[in-house]
Chain A
Amino acid sequence: MFPFQIRPDEIASEIQTFNNKLAQGFNTLAEIGDIEVGVSPKEAIYKEDKMVLYHFKPRTKKQNPVPVLIVYALVNRPYMADLQDGRSMIQGLLDGGLDVYLVDWGYPDGGDRFLTLNDYINGYIDRCVDVIRENHGLDKINLLGICQGGTFSCCYSSLNPDKIQNLITTVTPIDFHTKDDLLSHLVRNVDIDLVVDTVGNMPGELLNMTFLSLKPFRLMGQKYMDLVNLLDDTDKARDFMRMEKWIFDSPDQAGEAYREFIKHFYQENGLVKGTVKIGDDPIDLENITMPVLNIYAAQDHLVPPDASRALEGCIGTDDYTAIEFPGGHIGIYVSSKAQKMIPPTVSSWLSERT
């Protein structure tokens, strides 16, 4: 039997309802006002160029004596880890008694065109680590990397095992040539030298749209249809807009760093092959001998689980823990499920190793 059993009057009614919601929804959206992001109180304790190191205000009386430095990716903005009250990984970590620092890379412009991965990893990250070590009078601190920031954290930890007590990676690509890695598949035949030599810094808008185009109908179409059904609830509409703000808040990528990352990591898969160099230092993941917690997302379409799981086979530690989160690349930070699962796990894992 023909599966579409909708009468014309039902169609008219559905369209009318949808349009009413749309109009009412626009009314709601127009009255939402400014969208706040990055809710936890914090203080800038170190600045260099456009990079700012933030220290979050503790939320518990007693803290883990070893602070955690969160290294975010160069793509998009780090407030995703502190999106809103109740949807904040950072808030969860603070509640778990951790002393949290965060690197904010800022918005690179033409003057930052020649920043290399060496400048980011052996420069900015290293100096942030030293600032925290000095502030706390410690030889070692904990490092938590998010996505590309996780890859940077692995590189840093392998170069400076004497400065890192525990390493945590979240949705971090290590093996860039897994079968289901669509991003890697896309850039495999792109002449990245030609791209960077032509455009200089990589426009954030383009990068962002590339991510969205991995699932174009869902991410650029269907979700707006879903939104119409949420718009009668102001809070839900505000939540949606907050995510929307984050998704389209895409800094440009410093040209040289982008060139190195795409060429040596994505195209050559140098991290697992051991051919990556940061400055003059070869990266040997075997040097990662500190305890490692690797968290990845089962439905991650940007960093497939296999790309993250590969870490286990590359590092030299005897203390390795892996956790698979039942969600996607962003859900691991902002979903309500993640709030209950990720920060408490990280806090307790760290307290066991402090």
Chain B
Amino acid sequence: MNDKKSNPFKDFDWLEAQQQYLNAWESFGPGTKNKESSSSSSPIDVPWVQALDFWWKSVESATPRESRDFFGKVVDQTRVFYLVSNQLTQFMQTVSDINKATENWQDKLAEQFQHMKVFFTKQQDPTEAFKGIMGAWNLMPMDTLQRTFSSASFMPGDFLQEFKPEGVQSVTDKFLSVPGVGYTRESQEQVQDGIKLWSEFQKTLQEYNNALCGVTVNALDAMHKKILSMAEQGKQVNSLREIYDLWVDCNEEAFADYVFTKEYSELYGRLVNTLMACKQHGRNIVDEALAAMNMPTRKGLDTINKRQQELRRELTTTRAKMEQGAKHIQKMDSQLAAMKKELEIIKSGSGKPADKEMSSPVSNNISRKKRAAKKKGVRKKTTVSKVARGKTSSKKVAKKKGVRKKATVSKVTRGKTSSKKVAKKKGARKKATASKVARSKKTSKKVARKKKSGKSTKDKMIVIKI
């Protein structure tokens, strides 16, 4: 059966439940009210809550598991709504006769609020008061802290839940002062330390709960004042929901006033710290027991996890460096390829095809120079003169060149037309020199421009270095 599809509320006889609580409600009718219960009612005395609980118990087990918690929250809050409403409703009945006279209701109101304060705070264990009347407080961090940390520890805090230091304090103090002796001395001391820590936490928890009780009392005072102020201003409350909202506002305000105090910050800090100290002690005891049984411990796992994380960090850094290195090599490869290409262009520009065997621009350059030195043909010399710029003066080269040589040079310079024109005007020798100089100037300008622009300058820079 699919839980999600089931709907426990569909076929439930809600009217029957309604009838039950309405019957109960009748007990509030004039003349039937038990005044003794008005100020001391517990949740189970309130018929609306009884009806709600009856209904919820009937349907809870059939509720889809995944939404049961959520429904529970709504029911809890509805319970709170009824309880708060009940308190004030009973009060209204009390003052209903006086209301007609419109005189003494303020005294009665003060009296009722006093009763409510007692109701909210009278329990010996204030947490019990919260559990009943204030659904919200049940979800306060303190409770959650305990539950959460209990589930996170091998030794849940709840195992000492019933250990109340206030009840056994005098005995405990004596017990804890007895030194551990004998074979089990160490474990005795551990237990004593644990109880001391737990006792410390319980005392702080008591303090914390008392502080929250103070907030509740302040909230009721604020609510009392607001009601009086409303009366002065002629404002009316016409529904239970308005009363509930007023109660929420007053509690939020009182709570906000308190939590921003230094006192609360310190108390909260102490509460968490004492609980943690207790838990840590418990954890250490469990670890020791596990270690004695040759079982993995939390401490050991922490060490492993820490080292593993450090290794992973190193691995990530190393991997990043490797990737960076690989990218660098790739870049260098592409630069080499570009350099080869460039050389080929230079070579082909000289009229000689590129040597396929050449593997690097360096060897390429050397072998070319060697070949150039060996071969003394006019055209080859021209190539050498171009590569080893400045070594041979352009004038000497020009002298050795015939007309055909000059033409070749002018082709290489790519400024074909202009070179020819220059040659025509100034003679062949001058023309060859001028065109070479012009090309040299153009090249250096290009390099300068690329240096400025950045990217390809880098390539050029590497070429120059090589």
- Known contacts being A189-B265, A228-B74, is A15 close to B82, with CB within 8 Å? yes
- Which of B9, B240, B283, B316 is in CB contact (< 8 Å) with A198? B283
- Chain A interface mostly: helix
Please determine whether B265 and A186 come into contact, CB atoms closer than 8 angstroms. yes
Find residues 52-86 in chain A having any chain B CB closer than 8 Å to their own CB. Answer: none
Q: Which residues of B contact A31 (CB under 8 A)?
A: 7
Q: Which residues of A contact B298 (CB under 8 A)?
A: 200
The 0/1 profile, CB within 8 Å of B marked 1, for residues 155-195 of chain A is 00000000000000000000000001010011111110011
A327 to B28 alpha-carbon distance, docked (Å): 44
Q: Given contact pairs A18-B241, A190-B273, A197-B280, enumerate 10 new A-B contacts (beta carbons under 8 Å).
A: A3-B231, A4-B227, A8-B89, A15-B21, A19-B18, A19-B21, A216-B252, A217-B248, A222-B77, A228-B74
Q: Which residues of A contact B236 (CB under 8 A)?
A: 3-5
Q: Which residues of A contact B67 (CB under 8 A)?
A: 29-30
- Known contacts being A6-B92, A189-B265, is A225 close to B241, with CB within 8 Å? yes
Please determine whether B29 and A8 come into contact, CB atoms closer than 8 angstroms. yes
27 contacts between A and B (CB under 8 A): A2-B105, A2-B231, A4-B92, A5-B238, A6-B89, A8-B30, A15-B82, A15-B85, A19-B51, A20-B14, A23-B9, A25-B74, A26-B9, A26-B74, A27-B7, A30-B9, A34-B4, A114-B308, A187-B269, A194-B277, A200-B298, A205-B148, A206-B149, A213-B140, A214-B259, A215-B252, A244-B70
Please determine whether B268 and A189 come into contact, CB atoms closer than 8 angstroms. yes
Q: Which of B74, B81, B105, B279 has the most CB of A within 10 A?
A: B74
Please determine whether B89 and A11 come into contact, CB atoms closer than 8 angstroms. yes
B245 within 8 A of A: yes
Chain A, residue nearest B147 (CB): A205
**Nearest chain B CB to A46's CB is how many angstroms away?**
14
Q: Which residues of A contact B252 (CB under 8 A)?
A: 215-218
Chain B, residue nearest A199 (CB): B152
**Nearest chain B CB to A209's CB is how many angstroms away?**
4
Residues of B within 8 A of A (CB): 4, 6-10, 12, 14, 17-18, 21-22, 25, 28-30, 48, 51-52, 55, 59, 63-64, 67, 70-71, 73-74, 77-78, 80-82, 85, 88-89, 92-93, 95, 99, 102, 105, 109, 135-137, 139-141, 144-145, 148-149, 151-152, 227, 230-231, 234-241, 243-245, 248, 251-252, 255-256, 259-260, 264-266, 268-270, 272-273, 276-277, 279-280, 283, 298, 301-302, 305-306, 308-310, 313, 316
- Known contacts being A12-B25, A34-B4, A221-B80, is A198 close to B279, with CB within 8 Å? yes
**Nearest chain A CB to B188's CB is how many angstroms away?**
23
Q: Which residues of B contact A34 (CB under 8 A)?
A: 4
A235 within 8 A of B: no
A22 within 8 A of B: yes
Q: Which residues of B contact A222 (CB under 8 A)?
A: 77, 244-245, 248
Please determine whether A30 and B7 come into contact, CB atoms closer than 8 angstroms. yes
A56 to B283 alpha-carbon distance, docked (Å): 45
A190 to B139 alpha-carbon distance, docked (Å): 20
**Nearest chain B CB to A123's CB is how many angstroms away?**
7
A115 within 8 A of B: yes
Chain A, residue nearest B255 (CB): A216
A194 to B280 alpha-carbon distance, docked (Å): 8
Please determine whether A3 and B10 come into contact, CB atoms closer than 8 angstroms. no
A227 within 8 A of B: yes
Q: Which residues of A contact B276 (CB under 8 A)?
A: 191, 194-195, 198-199
A210 within 8 A of B: yes
A344 within 8 A of B: no
The 8 nearest A-B residue pairs measured at CB:
A189-B269, A114-B309, A209-B144, A224-B77, A30-B7, A221-B136, A27-B9, A198-B280
A14 within 8 A of B: yes
- Chain B interface mostly: helix
Please determine whether B136 and A217 come into contact, CB atoms closer than 8 angstroms. yes
**Nearest chain A CB to B263's CB is how many angstroms away?**
11
A25 to B78 alpha-carbon distance, docked (Å): 13
**Nearest chain B CB to A253's CB is how many angstroms away?**
12
Q: Which residues of A contact B55 (CB under 8 A)?
A: 23
Please determine whether A220 and B139 come into contact, CB atoms closer than 8 angstroms. yes
A129 to B71 alpha-carbon distance, docked (Å): 43
Please determine whether B316 and A123 come into contact, CB atoms closer than 8 angstroms. yes
Chain B, residue nearest A193 (CB): B276
A203 within 8 A of B: yes
Please determine whether B81 and A12 come into contact, CB atoms closer than 8 angstroms. no
Please determine whether B21 and A188 come into contact, CB atoms closer than 8 angstroms. no
- Known contacts being A2-B105, A30-B63, is A225 close to B231, with CB within 8 Å? no
Q: Which residues of B contact A23 (CB under 8 A)?
A: 9, 12, 14, 55
Q: Which residues of A contact B149 (CB under 8 A)?
A: 198-199, 203, 206
A16 within 8 A of B: yes
Q: Which residues of A contact B9 (CB under 8 A)?
A: 23, 26-27, 30
Chain B, residue nearest A130 (CB): B320
Please determine whether A224 and B283 come into contact, CB atoms closer than 8 angstroms. no
Please determine whether B265 and A224 come into contact, CB atoms closer than 8 angstroms. no
The 0/1 profile, CB within 8 Å of B marked 1, for residues 18-49 of chain A is 11101101110111011000000000000000
Please determine whether A185 and B230 come into contact, CB atoms closer than 8 angstroms. no
Q: Which residues of A contact B256 (CB under 8 A)?
A: 215
- Which of A114, A200, A213 is in CB contact (< 8 Å) with B139? A213
Please determine whether A190 and B313 come into contact, CB atoms closer than 8 angstroms. no
**Nearest chain B CB to A184's CB is how many angstroms away?**
9
